[in-house]
Amino acid sequence: MTVFNVRPWALFPLIGIVAVDQLTKWLVVENLEPTTAYPVIGDIARLYLIRNSGAAFSMGEGATVVFSVIQMIAVVICVVLAFRVRNPWAVAAVGMIGGGAAGNLIDRVFRDPGGLHGHVVDFVSVGSFAIFNVADAAISVGVVVYLVYALIIEPKKSRQQERDEEQEVQAS
């Protein structure tokens, strides 16, 4: 197989997630006041701009560099996998997880206070749940897609292939 035959399909959703994530963060930073609630659907969903130095639920605020390194590793793994995965489920999962990790990594590198210490822009607030962004949502959905594929679809497909092989042997 030559390099020209490789089609890194997962790079398309990965790049798309990064673009949408960064565009929405730019729009929010330019147009909303920090820590002010902007109702979208009453008290159920609102825009609420914060800067998060930690991980999900603002946990680990003193470990920004650790999260940055983890995100770098995740992005590298997803880019490598983008050249290997062919199954649509895997393409979607790798693209979403990689795009989300890259989107938040961009914040950690380029937003104040800079370096690997930057704060992630979060702005989606649903009920009393954590405040998150497009990148966070992409990572979460990507993990769910992968788990559904790995734990339900692939085992079912393998069992069906085994049954098909048994029927071929019996028919011979």
136 tagged catalytic: yes
User: Where residue 31 falls among pLDDT bands split at 50, 70, 90?
Assistant: very high
| Residue 2 within a domain | no
Given this model, what pLDDT does residue 6 score? 61
Per-residue confidence (pLDDT) for residue 114, from 0 to 100: 83
| Rounded CA separation 74/4 (Å) | 25
Q: How many domains does the chain have?
A: 1
Percent of residues, the chain, with pLDDT higher than 70: 95
Catalytic residue among 107, 112, 136, 164: 136
Question: For 53-65, how does the pLDDT look when each residue is reduced to its tens digit (9 = 90+)?
Answer: 887 666 777 788 8
- Asked if residue 125 is part of any domain, the answer here is yes
C-alpha separations of 15 from 89, 96, 141 in Å: 17, 9, 16
Count of CB atoms situated within 10 Å of the CB of 138: 27
DSSP sequence for 102-137:
HHHHHHHHHSTT-TT-PPEEEEEEETTSPEE-HHHH
Structural domain includes residue 1: no
pLDDT per residue as tens digits for the range 99-149: 999 999 999 999 998 888 899 999 999 998 889 999 999 999 999 999 999
Mean pLDDT of the region 69-95: 94
Active site residue 112: no
Q: What's the domain range around 51?
A: 7-171
Q: What is the mean pLDDT of residues 72-95?
A: 94
pLDDT given for residue 7 in this prediction: 82
Predicted confidence band of residue 1 (pLDDT cuts 50, 70, 90): very low
pLDDT over 80 (residue 164): no
